[in-house]
A and B are shown apart, each in its own frame.
Chain A
């Protein structure tokens, strides 16, 4: 039986916003809840935390139904977006706050001191016990907030966009730290973010939310490479869409006609998609799914386009190729040199690309 987080048919309604979803995260796993702003991520966090009451459904944690418990009776550790450190308490008092609050823990003074030191070591902030929280930098506050949330050994760690207030290098450093600590403690963790890079690099499982519903979940690779909707695909990174029409199919490939030429989609991922000749739809693929073919061949399975812009990204170029009215992004390795106005052929790598017929 799953002793992690199980959310079943949870619904919540407020004015014109409606949330309804089921979700389950196994014990010890790191899950990322991702979605655009306004999709209901924070509402879901408040429902799990007990700050909002759901209309129906259950939230289970460690096998217990916690749906009707007051926030302070749910054994959760939460790291808030603005850290919410208590400004009138020292670092040590902040970390000890949860230890003193939970009567079930019944820590005595030396035990509290010991636990505080343990956590300061865990987040690499030894010697900060007596500092005022207002004297800490953003990154330091973040670490203390994490230590405070972990101190009472919660069953679930919730992180609400914890890195959104920090900048570049510090973000990726703290991201690694969070994952290291999570693995060290083996604590079930739900991490909320709108940043696809964070979701893909951090998590065991990604939950993608849109308009109050869970639209896809899976490993980062599954979500990135085989999105189930156009929205999912486009939300998780740079992508292309080309409108097209199904020309013909065999049992292991489909021929699709686009403005850049007719292309063969080999082993189209989803088995349950039915292709019919004459279907119109959208071909979805990522810039790195394409490869520039130097030798021009009048061959099926290649797209043709004219290079319009080339941007330098350090590790690669990103070129934009025009195909009729449409534009396609291509990632080009550094060795290649492309010039504006050049006509190129582009091959779609095997097993890449998805076909969507419906509207989103």
Chain B
């Protein structure tokens, strides 16, 4: 294939953007470490405190992943092997963790599982105890539970295609050769599932390793600090940038290793799915047999659906309900009211908000900022991701350069937002005066963090555009430009829309990089919610959280509509 002018140009513009907004800041962090030399690295990494943090970061990510696997694997099996009413809803909901802002998870967790939360009140009323039966907030348990509850749908979603595409012929062959069920599972089913299983586990590990808001709030203090949170503390409060850089790079090396593992495993998994031929058909999930006897498997899986549904949606529901209720007095029941919303968006003059809480115009400003950053991130990230997806898919350019360049495009997936924020902080004083406005950097950071999701969704829809269609268009006299606009773009429209919704939702919920970069007047919805939680103004946080939830919910619905449907 010849190198077309669009191919060359197409790769150049994104490369320049990535150089400025990703590689330059990352390089500055790296430069800081290199300047300090081996002695700096040794000095930081030999401190028992930092060693403890590194160990704890790995440990909590590992335990969280195992917990998420325990919760998510039955779901993958259920979704991949059975037909049942509401299957499509469950399938859609499994995308939720990708778009749900972590600050909402935190808020919902506190309201639902907290000492005075919905679950405890329910249990206390049922078992008539005066003490809250579950005390899990602000502890190691809270971190693990929140990570597990937040991430298990990812395991569910990524393993279900492997279950769905179990090779019917191989299984029938093994059966006809006399393999008993366990041997069948061990020799055919399990080898088929393992790549998807490990790929999903490595992704969840990556997410838990880079987790920020959950650790910051639910960890409840320095004894449960991770690399991410520590880098944030060092950069924002201690102002020890060299130490932050060393810790940040250490984390980056680890996350990149897991990213590499994930990409490799995912490739192997999808290669396996393409090779297997006819898939085993889905079965109906039957609760009762005709003789009205309960089927144990049906009952267990049904109960699983109920419990995980409550775990996933209960906290979000608690946020919405709390935002609409006021307590009228001790002992009296709650009343429905829009008071919190009114207070949030009302002019501050007249009603002084609760201690330190951003009342009035600050909330309005946060909403405005969040929308501005999100739309800016969409405007930057969607063309970026789309061009890169097209470039990778068409395999344009000299083949020797292609793989390294592709790698350069994917690298941002494995670098945590906090490290990126740290790099931007170092970039800031070097920028000309007119560029120092933090808004541009926040928008850029959001675009860099989210564009790999555009590549993902656009690539998925590009797989349906066979190269034959482009050849057909060319043979009918269409120039490369006309082919792009009349063949490629119409066919990948769905992928672009769902990618845009991803960028929008991720930017709205982003807190890790924003918290480092935002100056006064640049508060976003998650930051405002974080501060309201810090001020124990939970009702206000819930009202703002509900606004954020509605916005992300809209994005979620768009994604669900356009997402490449699982067969």
Contact = CB atoms under 8 A, between A and B. Distances in A.
- The interface centre, meaning the residue of A46, A86, A152 with most chain B CB atoms within 10 A of its CB, is A86
Interface in B455-474: 464, 466, 468-469, 471-474
Interface stretch (A75-83, A187-195, A226-234): A75-83
Interface in B471-503: 471-480, 482-483, 486-487, 490-491
A158 to B, nearest CB: 8
Contacts of B472: 78, 80, 84-86, 148
Contacts of B466: 82, 84
- Residue of B464, B469, B473, B475 with most partner-chain A CB within 10 A: B475
B197 to A, nearest CB: 34
A72 B474 contact: yes
Most buried by A among B471, B473, B487: B471
Contacts of B464: 87
B562 to A, nearest CB: 14
Given A72-B477, A88-B490, A148-B476, A80 B471 contact: yes
A270 to B, nearest CB: 40
B2 interface: yes
Nearest to B2: A53
A84 B468 contact: yes
Given A86-B487, A88-B490, A97 B468 contact: no
Residue among B468, B473, B477 facing the most chain A CB atoms (10 A cut-off): B477
B490 A71 contact: no
Contact of B491 (A51, A53, A88, A101): A88
Contacts of B486: 97
Contacts of A72: 473-480, 482-483
A5 B2 CA distance: 24
B431 to A, nearest CB: 43
B476 A101 contact: yes
Contacts of A70: 474, 479
Central interface residue in B473, B474, B483, by most chain A CB within 10 Å: B474
Nearest to A49: B475
A316 B161 CA distance: 52
Contact of B475 (A76, A86, A87): A76
A101 B471 contact: no
A305 interface: no
Contact of B471 (A73, A78, A85, A152): A78
B478 A49 contact: no
A70 B6 CA distance: 14
> Chain B interface: which size bin?
20 to 34
Nearest to A151: B476
Contacts of B476: 72, 77, 97-98, 101-102, 148-149, 152
A260 interface: no
A50 interface: yes
B473 to A, nearest CB: 7
Contacts of A71: 471, 474-475
Interface string B101-144: 00000000000000000000000000000000000000000000
Interface residues on A, range: 20 to 34
A77 B475 contact: yes
A190 to B, nearest CB: 13
Contacts of B479: 70, 72, 101
A191 to B, nearest CB: 16
Contacts of B491: 87-88
A80 B468 contact: yes
A149 B475 contact: yes
A82 to B, nearest CB: 6
B160 to A, nearest CB: 26
Interface string A50-75: 11010000000000000000111111
B508 to A, nearest CB: 31
A221 B396 CA distance: 46
B478 A97 contact: yes
Contacts of A82: 466, 468
B22 to A, nearest CB: 34
A12 to B, nearest CB: 14
B497 to A, nearest CB: 14
B307 to A, nearest CB: 41
A78 B471 CA distance: 9
A102 B475 contact: no
Contacts of A77: 475-476
Contacts of A46: 471
B471 A51 contact: yes
A168 B389 CA distance: 41
B487 to A, nearest CB: 6
Nearest to A148: B476
A101 B487 contact: no
Contacts of B477: 72-73, 75, 98, 101-102, 152
A46 B490 CA distance: 25
A51 B471 CA distance: 7
Interface in A64-122: 70-78, 80-82, 84-88, 97-98, 101-102
Nearest to A154: B475
B461 to A, nearest CB: 11
A49 B471 contact: yes
Nearest to A74: B475
B474 A50 contact: yes
A360 B491 CA distance: 49
Contacts of B480: 72
B474 A51 contact: yes
A77 B471 CA distance: 11
A232 to B, nearest CB: 30
The 10 A-B pairs with the shortest beta carbon distances in the complex, nearest first, are A98-B476, A71-B474, A101-B477, A84-B472, A102-B477, A84-B468, A78-B475, A101-B478, A72-B474, A88-B490
Interface of A: 46, 49-51, 53, 70-78, 80-82, 84-88, 97-98, 101-102, 148-149, 152, 158
15 contacts: A49-B474, A51-B474, A71-B474, A71-B475, A72-B473, A72-B476, A72-B477, A72-B479, A75-B477, A82-B466, A84-B468, A97-B478, A97-B486, A98-B476, A158-B475
Interface of B: 2, 464, 466, 468-469, 471-480, 482-483, 486-487, 490-491
Given A86-B469, A97-B473, 7 more contacts: A51-B471, A72-B475, A78-B475, A86-B487, A101-B479, A148-B476, A152-B477
